[in-house]
Structures are given as C-alpha cells and as structure tokens.
Amino acid sequence: MTNLTSATRWMGVGIAGLMMAGAVHAGSHSHADASHDIVDTAVATGQFETLVAAVQAAGLVDTLKGEGPFTVFAPTDEAFAALPEGTLDELLMPENVETLQAILTYHVVAGNVMAEDAMGLDSAETVQGQSITITTMDGSVMINDATVIQADIETTNGIIHVIDGVLLPE
C-alpha cells in the first residue's frame, strides 16, 4: 500500500483556518458514522449510490472494508451524473474493471487525512500511484478540480471527504 507523500509536510492550520477557507461548514464534522467502515458509511448516507455500485463492480468492497486507515475523496451521485453521457455505463462493463479500479483508487489516500491536515498539503499520493493536487481557491478546498463540500466524516477505518466531481487520473 502506498504511503502519503512527505507526511512531514503536514502542517495543520487549525480549525479556524479551515472554516475561513471553507473546508469545514457547521455540522460537517461527523462522528455519527464512526461505528461503521467506509463502505457501510457511504451506503448509509444515501448520496453515494453510484460510488458504491462502482466499488462493487470494481471488486474493491473488501479493500475499503479492510483495516485501513484510508482517506476517501467521495464523489456524490450528482458528480457521477455530470460525467459525459455513457461514460459511467462503459466503466461499469466487466471488460473495463481495471480502468474502473484505477479511477476509484485515485480517490483514495493511505492514512487518515483530516481536513486540517489536508490544508497543509499541496498534494498527496493516491493508492492508485499518482498524486492529487490540494489547493485552497476562492474560500474552498479543491482536490484537483473538485471542491470538498463536506469534510471529516469519520469511520472505523478512515475518513471520507465529500467532493462534487469525479477525479480522473492522467
């Protein structure tokens, strides 16, 4: 499993800095799902039906139910719906399982990366092997071109940050 790049670069700016940057909104820090793993939490929220279906199709359920810890940048159903027509159907075909696995693991970083830790990073290496870019722009935290719309959903084996776009590796 790939580790975070330069974990020593993590320099939290504190919760006040995160709120100013828009990464944490009132009520977004959730302990409610901390008794469930990443997959069960995603199922319970009801906003990740497409992501859960993709994880199942890619054969990654057992991995994301594993010990971890993992940080998942989870696209909403609306994010998947915004992909070009036919893209998702094509990715879910059995012959495209490797491509689907690459896309999904590009949304996962090894370790627990809370929002305040992410604010101190400019990038993180994904489980897929490529790095994602982390920036603060116009008061929002961005992962590549996707915006974090809810941060720090804690689970038994990691953290979920909800994003409004699907991340695609190069």
The model's pTM is: 0.80
- 108 forms beta bridges with 72
pLDDT of residue 140: 82
Q: pLDDT of 80-129, one tens digit each?
A: 999 999 999 999 999 999 999 999 999 999 999 998 888 889 999 999 99
Q: What is the predicted pLDDT for the residue at 119?
A: 82
pLDDT of residue 135: 94
pLDDT of 21 reads 30
140-143 and 131-137 beta bridge pairing: antiparallel
Q: Positive or negative CA dihedral for 129, 130, 135, 141?
A: negative
CATH C-level class of 7-163: mainly beta
In the prediction, which pLDDT does 53 show? 95
Q: What is the pLDDT of residues 3-61, one digit of tens each?
A: 232 222 222 222 222 222 333 333 333 334 468 999 999 999 999 999 999 999 999 99
Q: Are 163 and 149 in contact (CB under 8 A)?
A: yes
- Tokens for 88? 């998702």
Per-residue model confidence as pLDDT tens digits over 132-170: 999 987 768 899 999 999 999 999 999 999 999 999 998
Which pLDDT score is estimated for 23? 32
pLDDT at 34 (0 to 100): 66
Contact 157, 65 (CB under 8 A): yes
